[in-house]
């Protein structure tokens, strides 16, 4: 069950503990979703750093597991039927880990689907739109004289924050009292938007007190604090 040698990714990133779930990642907002989830669940795992500075994500070994050349990806030696399971896409990985551990997902069917809905809201809205805002505000796009592309994503980020703000009114977490994978997917992106992407003033984050209040509680969780630094950068 623990023989991972058939997976080319283990040639570049050897498994020292082949009985543990293998994580290939970098502490970006998508990457930390999975390390936070693993820290929250207590599942034993072995993290491997996929360095963008050496273009590791384009190596044949990484592409053999994650053909879209994006982190995070996992290889679970103990997947369904006891067979190894490779997986990429952070939303799919969060769903898989919730299913495997029975944690961070409501038990009732209606609550489960509502959680999946908010997970998809993050995957299809918050992640891609905040990411574009990061490009136009912090990275190469900031030098463009024409600010219309940046402003388009500022407006879209504000709109999405407004949706989240409305959802959190009267609730501790996205799913009410239950802390779930929807929170784990969403709040690393809010943190990044107002931190690393330096867009707090642009999106007028002060107008979203429910969002910032929940972000603070999220960041105070010990598993979140640990997960934000995994895998350790060189």
Ligand X SMILES: N[C@@H](CCC(=O)N[C@@H](CS)C(=O)NCC(=O)O)C(=O)O
Binding stretches for ligand X (CB under 6 A): 28-30, 57, 69-72, 89-91
Kindly report the number of other CB atoms within 10 A of residue 92's CB atom.
Answer: 13
Dihedral pair phi/psi, residue 225, rounded to 5°: -60, -40
DSSP state of 126: I
Kindly report the number of other CB atoms within 10 A of residue 125's CB atom.
Answer: 18
| C-alpha to C-alpha distance for 72 and 25, rounded to whole angstroms | 5
184 to 157, 178, 198, 199: CA distances (angstroms): 18, 12, 21, 21
Provide, rounded to whole angstroms, the least separation between the CB of residue 179 and ligand X.
20
Most distant CA pair in the chain, distance: 56
In terms of CB distance, is 1 or 92 closer to ligand X? 92
Provide, rounded to whole angstroms, the least separation between the CB of residue 34 and ligand X.
9
| C-alpha to C-alpha distance for 13 and 65, rounded to whole angstroms | 12
CA angle at 167 for the pair 199 and 184, rounded to the nearest 5° = 65
In terms of CB distance, is 92 or 225 closer to ligand X? 92
In terms of CB distance, is 69 or 172 closer to ligand X? 69
Provide, rounded to whole angstroms, the least separation between the CB of residue 89 and ligand X.
5
In terms of CB distance, is 123 or 170 closer to ligand X? 123
Provide, rounded to whole angstroms, the least separation between the CB of residue 50 and ligand X.
8
In terms of CB distance, is 90 or 186 closer to ligand X? 90
Provide, rounded to whole angstroms, the least separation between the CB of residue 37 and ligand X.
12
């Amino acid at each position: 069950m623990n023989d991972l040698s058939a997976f080319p990714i283990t040639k570049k990133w050897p498994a020292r503990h082949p009985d543990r779930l293998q994580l290939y990642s970098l502490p970006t907002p998508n990457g930390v979703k999975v390390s936070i989830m693993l820290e929250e669940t207590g599942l034993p795992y072995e993290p491997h750093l996929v360095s963008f500075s050496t273009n590791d994500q384009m190596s044949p070994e990484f592409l053999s597991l994650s053909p879209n050349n994006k982190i995070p990806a996992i290889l679970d030696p103990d997947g369904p039927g006891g067979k190894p399971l490779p997986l990429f896409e952070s939303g799919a990985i969060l769903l898989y880990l919730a299913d495997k551990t029975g944690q961070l997902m409501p038990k009732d069917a209606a609550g489960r689907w509502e959680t999946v809905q908010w997970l998809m809201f993050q995957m299809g809205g918050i992640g891609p739109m905040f990411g574009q805002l990061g490009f136009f505000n912090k990275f190469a796009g900031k030098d463009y004289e024409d600010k219309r592309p940046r402003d388009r994503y500022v407006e879209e980020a504000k709109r999405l924050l407004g949706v989240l703000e409305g959802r959190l009114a009267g609730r501790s977490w996205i799913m009410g009292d239950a802390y779930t994978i929807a929170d784990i997917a969403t709040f690393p992106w809010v943190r990044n938007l107002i931190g690393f992407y330096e867009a707090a003033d642009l999106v007028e984050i002060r107008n979203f007190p429910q969002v910032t209040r929940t972000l603070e509680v999220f960041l105070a969780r010990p598993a979140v604090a640990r997960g934000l630094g995994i895998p350790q950068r060189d």
